[in-house]
Structure 1
């Protein structure tokens, strides 16, 4: 059965008369990106399309230059190598994304922490010492405890007036659970600045939509499904992505197995271990993709019971898919998401 999610607020602004859909795309952050937009007829010559393609790519390149933990020369890379006790002035976008990520960390009780990059690195999911290398060995308990103790003793401090951050020494920022969502928002802002009000933006599977297609239909997207050969999938959920974003975190994306045990790429900063709860995926629908991205990660770490409770407290539209030990799945929705169901 196909189920439909509809936004609570729908704009009545139509797409341009006789508008046509134009497609753009490329690569960034180790993944693909795409943009579909509605252009007025006759106003999209080859030169204009090339300029728009370059402008979109430049927005993503700017995010990488500021916030990538894979690029040593990024602003984030330089912060991670900065001397202990030094204050670093951050570019405005970098500062704002970090400040938002730290607010989600506080609100989630530390289930998500952008300052816990060293834990991610220990488990082989960072840029070096990867889990897929032949010499990789999972970290010992003492290594994990030492990193957690250092994080607790020497936190990053933000100074909003000067847009500065204190590197207490050895902290490795990792914005991978929020920067991709921010990049979706950034592309959307860029399109709006260029006069486009009807579009669908996607970066690595995270999406944001605005307006409608030329036929008046919204941008319909299907929420990610989790596959299990031993059980049928859950009923399909499609979302009218009109003024909304959607992001999904799942345990099926990146993981490794060692000595018969499966280790997820999502690390719980509270104990320094890969998550081991029953959640297969968490999807969050939100006006901002940055928020959907960060919250989907935090709720995944919290697990179904505590994550659903926090989603209710925060007013988040969230879908939890829990995995059964004997195969199959159970779906749980927050009140805000359930209210979007077209029943």
Structure 2
């Protein structure tokens, strides 16, 4: 049996700081969990793997690297020749044969639009582009621009046909998978790792983390969630959670925002109104996989504490912690009823 001889806390906010976990049996105390990082999909990806076979471990990392590149060419909205952008350029009422990965991602987006009461919408592409342009030009969008952005939205305008092969656009919709792409990719990587017989790994993509099994010492993986008031200080943890075969995602406007006339506007857009989501500076979601937690993080940021908590409590296997800052600069926390069973550290007293 292999066990962890030395470990430390993995810090998590909206960025991941990769660490090495030293583990091994009595015959090889020098062996260690290998951690590698990639820059892809507009973020840093960090993956920690512990394996009894270092050659197999190295080969698996190579395969993971190829998988990341493959998924980026499918899901990216920034690559001009990605499969997603080819789909977005497709004329109305014309079918396109798509990959299994893009089918799964779009199908998940359609399904979760209903589950999240319309607060998660993969057809919000025009609104996202509009607010990015507003930030670049330092000028708020007009009511007319917002109405124009809302006009061609709606997951009902995307039709998946056949047994996972064809997609038909019924209107000039623009699909943006930024709200689920990282979560989908992390889950895909975990499936790949499990397929090679490995049982201990951690995949971290910016604010989305998926834990496979336990750490080599048999304990759950530990993930620290940062105080949104101090985004530049990774040591300012509010809470630490323990995860085994679970995922956690954090969404918020304290790191990613556009600034216009001295005011900050969230990068998350409410697809129902076209306005930015300003209800919650930070929300962290725990769930069975990163596709779920990634999507729910966005939805809860839009819904806010009261409606968001109701939605979480209505769902099985999902927990969340909302972080707000009052006028005095004090942090206010709201936890779902089952969040506490994952929490091992709380530095706020509330």
Output the CA distance in 2 between the equivalents of 1:319 and 1:213: 24
Alignment equivalent of 1:103, drawn from 111, 122, 134: 111
Indicate conservation of the 8 Å contact 2:249/2:284, yes or no.
yes
Aligned: 1:270 with 2:276 = no
Q: How many residues align?
A: 316
Please tell me whether residue 115 in structure 1 is matched to residue 131 in structure 2. Answer: no
Alignment of 1:196-215 (within 5 A): 196-215=198-217
In 2: Cα distance, 1:234 partner to 1:101 partner: 34
Q: 1:122·1:138 contact (CA, 8 Å) conserved in 2?
A: no
Q: Distance in 2 between matches of 1:276 and 1:218?
A: 33
**Match of 2:294?**
293
Q: How far 1:150 moved relative to its partner?
A: 2.5
Give the whole-Å Cα distance in 2 for the aligned partners of 1:254 and 1:60. 23
Structure 2 counterpart of 1:36, from 40, 43, 48: 48
Q: Which runs of 5+ in 2 are unaligned?
A: 1-22, 346-350
Report what 2:97 is aligned to: 89
Deviations 1:218-253 (A, max 9, x none): 221112321259xxx997321222111110001112
Residue 80 of structure 1 is aligned with which of 74, 83, 88?
A: 88
Asked whether 1:170 is paired with 2:172, we answer yes
Alpha carbons 1:17, 1:214 under 8 Å: kept: no
Equivalent-residue separation in structure 2 for 1:330 and 1:336 (angstroms)? 18
Q: Which residue of 1 aligns with 2:145?
A: 143
Alignment-derived partner of residue 251 in structure 1: 253
| Native 8 Å contact 1:200 1:208 kept in 2 | yes
> How far did 1:320 drift?
0.8
Determine which structure has greater relative contact order: mean sequence separation of CA pairs < 8 Å that are 6+ residues apart, divided by chain length.
Answer: 1
SS at match of 2:50: strand
The two structures, once aligned, show a CA RMSD in angstroms of 2.5
Cα 1:247–1:235 shift into 2, 3 Å: closer
Q: Is residue 2:26 matched to residue 1:26?
A: no
Distance 1:154 1:220 in 2: 40
Greater mean deviation of Cα atoms: 162-171 or 85-94:
162-171
When structure 1 is superposed on structure 2, of 114-123 and 157-166 the one drifting more is 157-166
Shift of 1:338: 3.0
Q: 1:30 to 1:149 in 2, by over 3 A?
A: closer
SS at match of 2:211: strand
- Report the 3-state secondary structure (helix = DSSP H, G, I; strand = E; otherwise coil) of the residue aligned with 1:326: coil
Other structure's SS at 2:49 match: strand
Aligned partners of 1:154 and 1:169 also within 8 Å: no
Q: Deviations over 1:65-104 (max 9, x none)?
A: 1111111211110111000111222211211121112211
Q: TM-score, normalised by structure 1?
A: 0.85
TM-score when normalising by structure 2: 0.83
